[in-house]
Amino acid sequence: MRLPISEARRRLPELVRRVRADAGARVHITVHNEVVAELRAALPEPVPGAAAKALLALARRQASVRRRKVRVSDNVKVHLYGRDGISR
């Protein structure tokens, strides 16, 4: 739904009720026929600790895929200049 800002001011309580009732509803507020704002339902709050659990699960999956660690300090010249000693 597109509404001019003056109409949106008058109907704000009604618009908020509409968006609250239908989470997919959106109201585009216009100024001189240009959309400048959008009124829509807020996203649900994430469950506390959900991000940490997801990161731990990812770390567990990655544990079996990990490669051996390469210590750059042991092979500085190879990393800087390549195996043949030529500048990269």
Question: Is residue 88's pLDDT more than 50?
Answer: no
Looking at the domain assignment, is residue 31 inside a domain?
Answer: yes
Burial class (CB in 10 A: 0-12, 13-18, 19+), 33: exposed
Query: Which one is predicted more confidently, 48 or 10?
Result: 10
Question: Is residue 86's pLDDT more than 80?
Answer: no
**What range does the domain containing 26 cover?**
2-40
Task: Please state the pTM of the whole predicted model.
Answer: 0.51
In a 13 Å sphere around the CA of 55, the CA atoms on its Cβ side amount to 4
Query: Which one is predicted more confidently, 5 or 80?
Result: 5
Looking at the domain assignment, is residue 10 inside a domain?
Answer: yes
Looking at the domain assignment, is residue 27 inside a domain?
Answer: yes
Looking at the domain assignment, is residue 88 inside a domain?
Answer: no
In the block, which residue shows the tokens 């990269």?
Answer: 88
Give the count of domains, the chain. Answer: 1
Q: What is the pLDDT of residues 20-72, one digit of tens each?
A: 999 889 999 999 999 999 999 988 888 888 888 888 888 888 766 666 676 76
Give the per-residue pLDDT at 65: 61
Query: Which one is predicted more confidently, 78 or 49?
Result: 49
Looking at the domain assignment, is residue 30 inside a domain?
Answer: yes
Looking at the domain assignment, is residue 22 inside a domain?
Answer: yes
